[in-house]
Amino acid sequence: MFGKPAVVARYETQLANEWQILENEMLDTLGVSKAEWMDFMQNYRYKYDAFEDNLKREERRNGQPLSNNFKNLALQLFQKINMNPGKVDLIRNESSGRRLHASRSAIYVSENKLANDTPNEIEASLLHELGHIVNSDDEFIYFLEKFYEWYGKKSNGFLGSVIKNFYEKPAGTKGITAKVFKAVRKKIRHFQEKREDTWAALYSIVYARALLSIYKRMRSKYKDRDSETHPSFSKRIRNLQYICSDMENDPDMRDGQVCVR
């Protein structure tokens, strides 16, 4: 395989365009420019650093070590995709109720909840979480929430105007403010999940099919509906079905070879 497969390039361009539109909508709602938003994140990055360091320290203190089998599987995956494993901490967490989740530089793993998954399904799930890290998803949501908390009163957008007027209006206005903010955050988090499903799937049709298998199984077990943080299983399945179909028609991807990007 020489160069990036056409299907990978097409989906990456599509996602980049979708994100640009969504980010512009967010900035308009917050009433800030891109430069102001970047300055805000830069000026308060130390707070996220402290937040993540504390999170990792607590999980290591309260958790169990990962099994050698899991560590070996993760190491093999990093080698396949040509990623330095030293850039990501793998930390066991059996108390969160989630199979896996990621912060900026760590993946938290429930081996108990992955016990019945195939190796391909585990690797695909790890890739999804790596996508969150590569795209700084957790950090972005953290700053969005802190902007709402700290700087909403200085904003000139719709959300800002609601927050500014909060103290001059009767009780109940806070609910309106929260709804506006939650709508912005929900759209971003749903896009992040779609992007990282796609990011993981585009490494290989094997991983795309593995994610499909996971979500179909989860759809049969849990309620199939949008949440504040994740789109419905049906939406995620539909996205992956399109990707699988496109990969099957791409001679560079249909054989299951891992695409190093």
Q: How many domains does the chain have?
A: 1
Residue 260 lies in a domain: no
Q: Which residues pair with 106 in a beta bridge?
A: 89
Q: What is the reported pLDDT for 194? A: 98
What's the pLDDT band for 261 if we cut at 50, 70, 90?
confident
Residue 193 lies in a domain: yes
DSSP, residue by residue, 4-60: --HHHHHHHHHHHHHHHHHHHHHHHHHT--HHHHHHHHHHTHHHHHHHHHHHHHHHH
Residue 159 lies in a domain: yes
Q: What is the reported pLDDT for 244? A: 96
pTM of the shown model = 0.88
Q: Which amino acid is at 241?
A: Q
Residue 41 lies in a domain: yes
Residue 124 lies in a domain: yes
* pLDDT per residue as tens digits for the range 48-90: 999 899 988 888 887 789 999 999 999 999 999 998 878 899 9
Residue 1 lies in a domain: no
Residue 11 lies in a domain: yes
The arithmetic mean of pLDDT across residues 161-171, rounded, is 44
Least confident of 10-14, 17-21, 39-43, 213-217: 39-43
Is the pLDDT higher at 159 or at 94?
94
Q: Which domain holds residue 135?
A: 6-248
